[in-house]
Structure 1
Amino acid sequence: MENLLTYIIQVNLLLAFIYLGYHFLLKSLTFYNLNRIYFLIGSLYAFAYPFIDFKSWFAKNEVLDSTFFPEFLTAFQMPDPSTSQITLLDLIVVELGLFAVVFFIKLIVQIFSLLRIHMHSEKSIWQSYLFRNVVFPIVPFSFFNKIYIHKEQHQETELQDIFAHEIVHVKGHHTVDILLFEMILVVCWYNPFVWLMRKAVRQNLEFLTDQQVLNKGVDKQTYQYSLLHVTRQGVAVGMSNHFNFKTLKKRIMMMNKKRSSKLELSKYAFLLPVFLIAGMSFTVSKAENNIEKIVDKSKQTTVISEPLNVKMKGEVGELLKNTIGTDIISVDTSNQEKEYPLLAPDFDRKELEGKNLHFEIDGKLVSLDEFLEFPRTEIYGVDIYKDKEEIRKKIGKENSEGLFVMTSKKKNSSNDKQMQTQDFIKRLKSKAEIDPDKKFIYDYDGKILSKSEFLAIADENLKRLTHMSGRSLMKVKYSSLVSNWEEYEGVIHAISLQSEEKFKEQTAKVLFIIDGVEKGIGSDLEDLDPNDIESMNVLKGENATTVYGDKGKDGVIEIKTKKNKNKEVVVTGYKSKENNSDSVDVKTKGAVKEVIVTGLKK
């Protein structure tokens, strides 16, 4: 809903710009054909530009793929669908949609009115003009290639001017313009500039038609008197090209107006780059929102993982690179949330001086000068901590107003190498399997207990008892909970009977996909070893139903196991020129379960 509302705002902003450009620069010009093109292309551009990546026209961007890796399966909990709430944004979009339906029904009614007139008319010919002769009085009008007139109410001289006028509408396909802006009004009924634009489009078509009629040699004064007489008779049809008495005064003024100088064509040349730049600026203004959406998305995906470093794409990446020196942001996807994440910006020395702030680079406390002078190109990521108690646990400083933690690319690279192969998870049957000589962190339902408190809990209340070891697992999950986490040799994790029942209840309707195969809704994963999990992804809401249909309405968990990592080998074979054989000689290393021949080439 939020994306839809953003799109609506962007479209209507540019539609407003388009009308204002016409009103202040083009309205008084006699280049009616150019004005028509301006409205058509401008309105279509307004609906299309939010989807255009302008930055990709000028720069080539590379995107790094990222994968979520779970710490352990038992940490996953699918939110209860019943807790979803209707937001104010949802109500706004629904209200806009309901009124759009009302205006669409009104448009359908107008079409049926035209159909009624058509049914009460018959084919006729006057001189060389084909038309539909209506049985009751109406204001003459045209719709696509049909001209509708109640012939009996007009004199011969009037008919000549009427047909000369309406045939221009027909040959110019002006009905397309009318219908297009009627549809735009349906979806943008709340925008006052759209109502004004709709009126301006119709008015411009009449100016264009009058100009082309007079260019054929029709007497100007006689034609104007005919307009005055014709527009006072019969019923007018709203959705058509018809004689309109309300705009007659303005039309006569424009017919008598001196033709605009060709120098004034420069106004169109001026508006083109203005609207391109406006479109780019509206799109680029979404950069900060896109960054926030990435963080929000990481919170919605209930997977515990290491901090995720994301290389930003397109306009966002360019904006970040130009303003803060890097297009990589660090997203903390763990359950331990900081007050807010930070990206390594250009710090203002004046804002940092005179405050009780502390600065850390690669685990070492440094001065403000050292922090600010660190080469920007060597920065991997920066985080800010503002919670005083959390800062005290990290660096032992009391009443600190903020802690700036910087990680260099060099440090991050070495940390990654040290942590790659150290993690493992082992399921325990009982507390008797816990090594009493080792120092563990004891986690019970997310609460850190002492060893004695944990061991005092009855075995029947310890569900999914797990021994976890590995620096990366401990750092992500427990560094903010246990100040001296590095001193421990692992984690003993368990959940209570109540949490186990709640977990089963929450996943009872969840669809599980393991290695691309549907395991059904509410599948039992007791036999799935957490150590066998390569990656896990959680889909919710529209993301789930789009991929898996109605089966995914209550959530989907996609699990990829390590067993499936090298399951398939794809081989391209070549026919032998000597014996025309179709056989393929395949040499593989390791356990290969299946060989797929994708095709034989001559």
Structure 2
Amino acid sequence: MENLLTYILQVNLLLALIYFGYHFLLKGLTFYVLNRIYFIIASIYAFVYPFIDIKTWFTKSEVIDTAFLPEFITPVFLNNSASSGISLLDIIIAVFSTVAIVFVLKFLVQLFSLLRIHLNSKDATWHSYLFRNVLFPVVPFSFFNKIYIHKEQHREIELQDIFAHEIVHVRGHHTVDILLFEIILVFCWYNPFVWLMRNAVRQNLEFLTDQQVLNKGVDKQNYQYSLLHVTKQGAAVGISNQFNFKTLKKRIMMMNKKRSSKLELSKYAFLLPILLIAGASFTISKAEKNIEKIVKKSQNTTVLDESLKVKMEGEVGELLKNTIGTDIISLDTSNQEKEYPLLAPDFDRNELEGKNLHFEIDGKLVSLDEFLEFPRKEISAVDIYKDKEEIRKKIGKDNSEGLFVLTSKNKKPAQTQVDVKSLKSKSEIDKTKKFIYDYDGKIVSKSEFLAIADENLKQLTQMMSRSVMKGKYSSLVSNWEDYDGVIHAISAQGEEKLKEQREKALYILDGVEKGKGFDLSSIKADDIESISVLKDQSAIALYGDNGKDGVIIVTTKHNSSARIKERSNDEIGIFLKNDDDSNTNTRSPGIRLEGKNQ
């Protein structure tokens, strides 16, 4: 609901700015066609721009290494006291929706009136003009490609000017403009500038039509005199292009006005960057919204019992509820020296007793009492499994309803094995496997890769890892699961570019800032658990100006339990446990709750 209100505010702010731009810069110009284009494009842009991250147009995002990141699921914080009843926000939305429905009904009534007029008219011709002759008096108007006139109520000299005027509306498809701004008015009826813009659009269409009529050689004075004497009695439809009399004085003034000079076209060029900059400033990026939400929520949260309650949503929440009877997770905040708090479910003894459940601590099966009494501060991670076949493979128990695996901080978690092999030439590539070919960060076909000379390959690596493929290549290769691995190659130019990027980047080793230009070769390759990369706004948001050239986060195997916590946008992470490195590429039906080791 808050996102909807934010969107509405963003749209209406820009619509107001669009009207101000027209009123103060374009209103007095005689470039009516450009004014029409301005209204249409700018108004559509107002509704689309909140979905566009304009800031990325002016920033360049590059990947300087493979990022091994788990899937994060953002939990929803709950207040300590439950809220009920109707909020002020609900009332505002209800009022807005009710009035919008009224405008929709009004719009439908106008369409019905138009249908009534159409049914009470018949095809006719006057000189070379085709029109619909209405059987009762109406104000002359056009709708799409039809002109509606009650011929008997007009003199011949009036008909000439009426048809000359309305045929311009028809050929210019001015009905589209009218309907577009009627629809905008339905959704933004509360914005006074939308009403003003709607009137300005209709007025501009009349100016445009008068100008094109006079451009055909019609005598100006006779045309203006004729407008004054055309009878305006009869029915009228608000959503049509009427033979408008309300702005007649202004129309005559604009017809007599001197044409604007081409120098004044610069006003349109001036408005374009103004609207783009306004869109960029009004738009709140997703990263910024997440950070602001976390900061605001943390400031407003009062810790009463050394723990914070967190409600899990989606697949994880449902799995927790089915397994342990609750989707509420307890966030341990008792130790203020922790950089990251520990997540653990609120295990209810009553929910766990009486079921065929099994419990394991550091690889050893234990009783329910031992599992519940294990010190929370010593917990590194909790894995929950529900699939019976998976449990049977792990502990040899049949028909188990659930397996809870607790890992203490004293036990090093099992390491993810990544099959990485450095090659000297393309001839060493395993020909029995199907690979994705990555050359200087660009995906190429097998034939294109094999055509590259070996001397142009400064680095050549064969990686047989589902984690690597899923983490980096799943978004680049639609059928990545059909491949066995990745051949990663870097040219001399690519190696130099990568070296420059690494020298500028900020290095974080096991959560500790190592500054720029850190020598990564000082760490043994076998000791590296993962390398993650942050670029642009995400890096700056977390590390300030030090991260503007990118951040390289290195996690060693000695500190692997911290790998899901490396200063992510959300200070709390929960991920679906999966066996992406297995040959079968199956997903384990479990979840892991993990915190930062001390």
* Amino acid aligned to 1:210: D
Cα distance in structure 1, aligned partners of 2:159 and 2:32: 25
Q: Which runs of 5+ in 1 are unaligned?
A: 71-75, 305-332, 342-361, 364-380, 384-420, 435-463, 477-511, 518-524, 535-557, 572-591, 593-602
Pairing of 1:291-370 with structure 2 (within 5 A): 291-294=291-294, 301-302=310-311, 335-336=331-332
Cα distance in structure 2, aligned partners of 1:5 and 1:248: 40
What is aligned with 1:393? none
User: Can you list the C-alpha shifts for 1:8-61, whole angstroms capped at 9, x where unaligned?
Assistant: 000000000000000000000000000000000000000000011122222216
Give the 3 Å change call, closer, same or farther, for CA 513–93 of structure 1 in structure 2.
farther
What is aligned with 1:174? 174
Give the 3 Å change call, closer, same or farther, for CA 526–79 of structure 1 in structure 2.
farther
What is aligned with 1:30? 30
Q: CA deviation at 1:295?
A: 6.0
Cα distance in structure 2, aligned partners of 1:220 and 1:77: 70
Query: Contact (CA 8 Å) 2:139, 2:235: kept in 1 or not?
Result: yes
User: Can you list the C-alpha shifts for 1:349-399, whole angstroms capped at 9, x where unaligned?
Assistant: xxxxxxxxxxxxx99xxxxxxxxxxxxxxxxx899xxxxxxxxxxxxxxxx
Give the 3 Å change call, closer, same or farther, for CA 278–287 of structure 1 in structure 2.
farther
What is aligned with 1:253? 253
Give the 3 Å change call, closer, same or farther, for CA 196–427 of structure 1 in structure 2.
farther
Pairing of 1:55-134 with structure 2 (within 5 A): 55-57=55-57, 58-60=59-61, 65-67=69-71, 86-134=86-134
Pairing of 1:97-496 with structure 2 (within 5 A): 97-230=97-230, 232-284=232-284, 288-294=288-294, 301-302=310-311, 335-336=331-332, 427-430=366-369, 465-467=372-374, 471=378, 473=380
What is aligned with 1:408? none
What is aligned with 2:48? 48
Query: Contact (CA 8 Å) 1:133, 1:151: kept in 2 or not?
Result: yes
User: Can you list the C-alpha shifts for 1:258-307, whole angstroms capped at 9, x where unaligned?
Assistant: 10011100000000000000000111488654313356899885369xxx
Cα distance in structure 2, aligned partners of 1:300 and 1:175: 56
What is aligned with 2:544? none
Give the 3 Å change call, closer, same or farther, for CA 423–565 of structure 1 in structure 2.
farther
Query: Contact (CA 8 Å) 1:422, 1:470: kept in 2 or not?
Result: no
Which of 138-147 and 98-107 deviates more? 98-107
Query: Contact (CA 8 Å) 1:424, 1:468: kept in 2 or not?
Result: no
Query: Contact (CA 8 Å) 2:182, 2:198: kept in 1 or not?
Result: yes
Give the 3 Å change call, closer, same or farther, for CA 109–64 of structure 1 in structure 2.
farther
Query: Contact (CA 8 Å) 1:140, 1:148: kept in 2 or not?
Result: yes
What is aligned with 1:578? none
Give the 3 Å change call, closer, same or farther, for CA 285–193 of structure 1 in structure 2.
farther
Query: Contact (CA 8 Å) 1:532, 1:561: kept in 2 or not?
Result: no
* Amino acid aligned to 2:227: L
Is 1:527 aligned to 2:401, yes or no? yes
Query: Contact (CA 8 Å) 2:71, 2:575: kept in 1 or not?
Result: no
Q: Indicate the percent of aligned positions where both proteins have the same amino acid.
A: 62
Give the 3 Å change call, closer, same or farther, for CA 516–117 of structure 1 in structure 2.
farther
Q: Which runs of 5+ in 2 are unaligned?
A: 299-307, 314-328, 342-359, 390-398, 408-412, 414-573, 589-598
Query: Contact (CA 8 Å) 1:426, 1:468: kept in 2 or not?
Result: no
Cα distance in structure 2, aligned partners of 1:15 and 1:142: 28
* Amino acid aligned to 1:428: S
Cα distance in structure 2, aligned partners of 1:230 and 1:159: 9
SS at match of 2:283: helix
Q: CA deviation at 1:93?
A: 2.3
Q: CA deviation at 1:145?
A: 0.2
Q: CA deviation at 1:67?
A: 4.7
User: Can you list the C-alpha shifts for 1:67-105, whole angstroms capped at 9, x where unaligned?
Assistant: 5699xxxxx999999965543323322321221111111
* Amino acid aligned to 2:374: H
Cα distance in structure 1, aligned partners of 2:135 and 2:283: 54
Q: CA deviation at 1:243?
A: 1.6
What is aligned with 1:569? 584
What is aligned with 2:507? none
User: Can you list the C-alpha shifts for 1:534-562, whole angstroms capped at 9, x where unaligned?
Assistant: 9xxxxxxxxxxxxxxxxxxxxxxx99567
Cα distance in structure 2, aligned partners of 1:194 and 1:427: 68
What is aligned with 1:551? none
Query: Contact (CA 8 Å) 2:77, 2:309: kept in 1 or not?
Result: no
SS at match of 2:405: helix
What is aligned with 1:350? none
Count of residues in Structure 1 that have an aligned counterpart in Structure 2: 365
* Amino acid aligned to 2:198: R
What is aligned with 2:523? none
Q: CA deviation at 1:425?
A: 8.7
Query: Contact (CA 8 Å) 1:141, 1:240: kept in 2 or not?
Result: yes
Length-normalised TM-score, structure 2: 0.54
Cα distance in structure 1, aligned partners of 2:125 and 2:385: 70
Cα distance in structure 2, aligned partners of 1:124 and 1:130: 6
Q: CA deviation at 1:245?
A: 1.7
RMSD: 4.3
Length-normalised TM-score, structure 1: 0.53
